[in-house]
Amino acid sequence: MPEGMTSGCHAAGIVHLVGAGPGDPDLLTVRARRLIERAEAVVYDRLVAPEILALAPAGALHLDVGKLPGLHRVPQPEINALLVDLARRGLEVVRLKGGDPYIFGRGSEEAEHLHANGIAFDVVPGITSAAGCATAIGVPLTHRGMATGVRYVTGHCQGDAPLDLDWRGLADPATTLVIYMGLAQIARIAAALIEAGLPATMPFAAVQSGTTPRQRHRIGTLAEAGGIAASFEDRGPVLFIVGHVVALADSLAPPRAGAAAGEDRHAVPALA
């Protein structure tokens, strides 16, 4: 424990499961920022932007439990146990997760473990990576006449098991599809969606480190998904968006989504 930490400890600790949003500190909720700025221990994932970590007090414990593809340096059961231990030491703990804690963030698993061990906790929602990244490149996830719904799916299964998704259900041209954690599998995912009925010309976008100064994105078609994904180095999370709404990026992109943000546009077919 850092020197001077004891004076700030509580008789009983608490764990805040906090959504750090897509990366830009300005997109944190007011409550999330307030909790980070007073945290006594910050337990954070790989996807949390350094600009957000910098908001924590200098004397707070900083514990990196981030997972890399195929390399979980701190297995989930150990993270669960760590949160319980920190709270039992009387600390106010902020468990930071990229996006929202309950969307592909294992926040609910940690909440279950905290509840089972009698640890006080709360959950602070965050702007999802899907909403943040899409907006950053000018893509509305729904749009009248183009997309009547949106679906979030994972492109990675536990233990690297083969993806077994409802491809026919996902291949709905009236729905925007957002794929998390799919960098290694996106070529297979695209092929499966095309085989299930989505047009190979369906607009497709890849966004890396969206909303941060490191943002890069490329736009093309579903048939080009594998080649587009291969152009991204492992320097940050990549989110994929499939749907007619991607074609709106040309007219709705904010100024920061230009060449300075690493833009690479292919021709995007108009909605038929």
258 pLDDT band, cuts 50/70/90, is: very low
Whole-number pLDDT of residue 260? 39
Catalytic positions, please?
45, 67, 181
Distance CA 58, CA 67 (A): 24
Domain 129-265, CATH class in plain words = alpha beta
Contacts of 33 (CB under 8 A, 6+ apart): 25, 55
- In this predicted structure, what is the pLDDT of residue 156? 73
Instruction: Flag whether pLDDT at 71 surpasses 80.
Output: no
Lowest mean pLDDT among 49-53, 199-203, 261-265: 261-265
DSSP per-residue string spanning 110-170:
HHHHHHHTT-EEEEE----HHHHHHHHTT--S-BTTTBSEEEEEES--GGGPPP---HHHH
Name the band, by pLDDT with cuts 50, 70 and 90, for residue 4: very low
Mean pLDDT of the chain: 88
Q: Are 146 and 203 in contact (CB under 8 A)?
A: no
How is residue 18 written in tokens? 């906090």
Between these two residues, 29 and 232, which has the higher pLDDT value? Answer: 29
Distance CA 227, CA 1 (A): 47
pTM as predicted: 0.86
**pLDDT band (50, 70, 90) for residue 3:** very low
Pairing of strands 238-242, 175-180: antiparallel
Domain chopping of the chain, boundaries = 6-124, 129-265
Q: Is 180's pLDDT higher than 70?
A: yes
Report the side by side order of strands in the sheet with 149-154: 149-154, 175-180, 238-242, 203-208, 216-221, 263-265
> How far is the C-alpha of 10 from the C-alpha of 142, rounded, in Å?
45
Maximum distance among all Cα pairs of the chain, rounded to whole angstroms: 65
Above 90 in pLDDT, residue 10?
A: no
Q: Which CATH number fits domain 6-124: 3.50.50.60, 2.40.50.140, 3.40.640.10, 3.40.1010.10?
A: 3.40.1010.10
Are 31 and 124 within 8 A, CB to CB?
yes
Q: Residue 199 is encoded by which pair of tokens?
A: 């047009």
Burial of 267 (0-12, 13-18, 19+ CB in 10 A): exposed
